[in-house]
Amino acid sequence: MRPKDPTNFKYLNIVTEYCTQNLMNVIRYNSTTMNLDHIKYLTYEIMKGVHYIHSMGIIHRDLKPLNILVNDNWDIKISDFGQSNVKTDDINKDYNLTKYVTTKYYRAPELYLNYEANYTQAIDMWSIGCIIAELFNKKVFLRATKTEDYLEFLVEMLGLPSQNVRNAIRNKNFLKYMVDKEPFLKKAGLKELIPTATPEALDLMSKLLTYDPSERLTAK
């Protein structure tokens, strides 16, 4: 039923074809049947879906395997737009972009470290990087229960952020924690953290999992 006023309504329901499971269940229960071709296709499908969402000016803000539905042909549907927001190029508009978005295991560093600029659709791209890593590792990639664990993982994987990013970080306590911990942490690149990933997949993830959102690959 269409609302009487299309600019003023409380709920929006999206109806799609029936999907038998979500990507979290695929990873958890069907990982033995998921081969490299499946991972490539799922990655393509996710990027295609996010490209369309972003082309509409939408930031999903909660991309994770649980919110990606999968049918019997391995086609995907992106679901759960409860935290999504619409953003245009009007830099003077207040978008009410709250910082507490995205399930913590898929949350981009700018949300933790509170960069000065408003966050963008790039937070979705970080989430995709975590999802691809999970497809290869068959388990959550960035399973950090505490903020300190998350920050240490970032330093181990990416080193310390560039000076430009450091200057933009508002949470100086977190930045100080990272700098103080850095000499004592074991450095581990993506190849070591995701040993089953192909060189092409590692290259893709290296362009998604970056401190600087402006350097992050887009879904185009």
Average pLDDT, the chain: 88
Predicted pLDDT at 91:
42
Residue pair 122/153 in contact (Cβ under 8 Å)? The answer is: no
For the stretch 170-195, pLDDT in tens is: 889 999 999 999 999 988 999 999 99
- State how far the alpha carbon of 55 is from the alpha carbons of 6, 60, 130, 138, 157, in Å: 21, 12, 22, 30, 30
| C-alpha closest to that of 106 among 67, 52, 73, 77 | 67
**Per annotation, catalytic residue among 5, 62, 80, 180:** 62
Confidence (pTM): 0.89
DSSP character string of 169-209: BS-HHHHHHHHHHGGGSPP--HHHHSTT--HHHHHHHHHHS
Residues 28, 218: Cα–Cα separation, whole Å = 28
Look up tokens 């999504």; give the residue. 84
Minimal CA–CA distance to 206: which of 153, 148, 128? Answer: 128
Task: Tell me which residue of 132, 153, 152 sits closest to 204, measured CA to CA.
Answer: 132
Helix axes 199-208, 122-137, angle to 10 degrees: 150
| Predicted local distance difference test score (pLDDT) of residue 16 | 79
Take residue 80 and report the two structure tokens written for it.
């759960």
Tell me: the pLDDT tens digits for 80-121? 888 888 875 544 444 556 665 678 899 999 998 888 667 899
User: CB of 130 within 8 A of CB of 104?
Assistant: no
- Can you give the length of the chain in residues? 220
Higher pLDDT pick, 1 / 146: 146
Residue 127 has, within 13 A of its CA and on its CB side, a CA count of 26
Are the C-beta atoms of residues 54 and 218 closer than 8 Å to each other?
Answer: yes
Asked if residue 70 lies in contact with residue 45, where contact means CB atoms within 8 angstroms, the answer is no
- Active site annotation includes 62: yes
How large is the C-alpha radius of gyration of the chain?
A: 18
Query: Domains in the chain, start-ordered, CATH in brackets?
Result: 21-86+102-211 (1.10.510.10)
